[in-house]
Amino acid sequence: MLVCILAVVAAVGVVITAAALFRRFGRGSDDAEPDGATASHAGSVLSALFLLVFAIAIVVPWTTTDSARENTYGESRALVEAYWAASALPVPEGRDVQNDLRGYNDLVLGREWGFMEKGHLTAEGWNRLNALRARVLALPAANNDQQDDRTAVLEQIQALSAARGQRAMDAQKSTPVGLLYMTVLAGLVVLILPFLAGARPRGMTIVPLGVMAAMLAVGVFLAFDISHVFSGALRVKPDAYTAARQQFQQIPESR
């Protein structure tokens, strides 16, 4: 933060020094008009700066959300594959494993999804996965076929655990606060620049300025609204787990 402040002070100092030197040596001409070279140059640069910051504030959460959405489908695929693999296990152990998988999916669809808006997952979800892994490891394997069936379920549970860990990381992701504040600051500077340059809008000239202000406000609000993966307009929805619940009904139970 200190480095940033020093950089700002240094940049303003360069401008003041350059203006003083040019005036002292009689170089250039006075520029006091709102539409003069100074105001035009500063306006174009500030507008470009705002567009750059605003684009980053939109693109970063957009790509992060797409990645998080894909990760939820990866987790749901692991759930479905584990459910399929558990159907090959003997009764009643196989049905118990399938019931645990359905319970885990219901937990994610229900209480856990609200937790993710706060940036974390529930401890119960991890406990259920750990208990499920321990249950499968404890299953007896009288022959090679049963050993292979148990291994197949364990592999999918491992993939499920890895996908859950990625979802936990996604829940913590959000647009850097500094970038959001920079978006607000740049937008405010763009709004008041005509007044800083000495312009006094009157009559119908206020209309386009007001429209621009309204559009900037909407853009800044959007940047804040989509800043978190699991909340806001672009939030990831639990569609993948709803689809997994429907697929469970098409998979035979353990026999």
Higher pLDDT, residue 167 or 177: 167
Within a domain: 11 = no
Within a domain: 18 = no
Residues 51-85 have pLDDT tens digits of 888 888 888 888 999 999 999 999 999 999 999 99
| Domain range for 131 | 37-248
SS3 85: helix
Tokens, residue 236? 């990831």
Within a domain: 146 = yes
Residues 9-54 have pLDDT tens digits of 564 565 556 555 555 555 555 555 555 566 676 677 778 888 888 8
Number of domains in the chain: 1
Phi, psi torsion values for 174, nearest 5 degrees: -160, 165
Q: What is the pLDDT of residue 242?
A: 94
Within a domain: 126 = yes
Within a domain: 24 = no
Within a domain: 65 = yes
Question: b/e for 173-207, b at 16 or more Cβ within 10 A?
Answer: bbbeeebbebbbebbebbeebbeebeeeeeeeeee
Within a domain: 3 = no
Within a domain: 12 = no
Question: b/e for 109-142, b at 16 or more Cβ within 10 A?
Answer: eeebbebbeebebbeebeebbeebbeebeebeee
Residues 90-143 have pLDDT tens digits of 888 889 999 999 999 999 999 999 888 888 899 999 999 999 999 888 888 778
Q: What is the pLDDT of residue 129?
A: 92
Task: Indicate whether this model's pTM tops 0.75.
Answer: yes
Residues 185-218 have pLDDT tens digits of 888 888 887 777 777 777 777 788 788 888 888 8
